[in-house]
Amino acid sequence: MKRAVLLFSCCLAFSSAQAASECPGFPVLATSGEALLAQVRALPPVGIDRERQACAPQTVIDFAYSGGTLCRFGGVAEAATGAVTRLADGNELVEYLYLFPYAPETHARLLALLAAHFARLDKAAYPAFLRAAMPGKETTAVFAHDGYYISLGKPSDGDPAGWYSNVIFERRDKPALGVRKTCRDASDD
Q: Does the residue 13 lie in any domain?
A: no
Please give the residue that has the higher pLDDT: either 151 or 131.
151
The runs of H, that is alpha helices, within 27-149 are: 33-41, 104-117, 128-131
Amino acid at 67: G
Q: Does the residue 4 lie in any domain?
A: no
Query: Could you report the per-residue pLDDT of 85-103, keeping only the tens digit for each?
Result: 999 998 899 999 999 999 9
**57 exposure class (CB count in 10 Å sphere: 0-12, 13-18, 19+):** middle
Rounded distance, CA 38 to CA 9, Å? Answer: 32
The number of domains in the chain is: 1
Rounded distance, CA 152 to CA 79, Å? Answer: 13
The pTM for the full model equals 0.84
Rounded distance, CA 3 to CA 15, Å? Answer: 18
Rounded distance, CA 90 to CA 124, Å? Answer: 34
Q: Does the residue 125 lie in any domain?
A: yes
Q: Does the residue 15 lie in any domain?
A: no
Q: pLDDT at position 14, please?
A: 35
Strands (E) in the chain, as ranges, are 47-53, 59-65, 71-73, 77-79, 81-87, 93-101, 119-120, 137-145, 148-155, 164-171
Q: Does the residue 69 lie in any domain?
A: yes
Q: Does the residue 102 lie in any domain?
A: yes
The residue range of the domain holding 173 is: 22-181
Over the chain, what is the mean pLDDT? 84
Q: Does the residue 2 lie in any domain?
A: no
Query: Could you report the per-residue pLDDT of 159-182, keeping only the tens digit for each?
Result: 666 789 999 999 999 988 988 888
Contact between 139 and 64 (Cβ < 8 Å):
no
Q: Does the residue 11 lie in any domain?
A: no
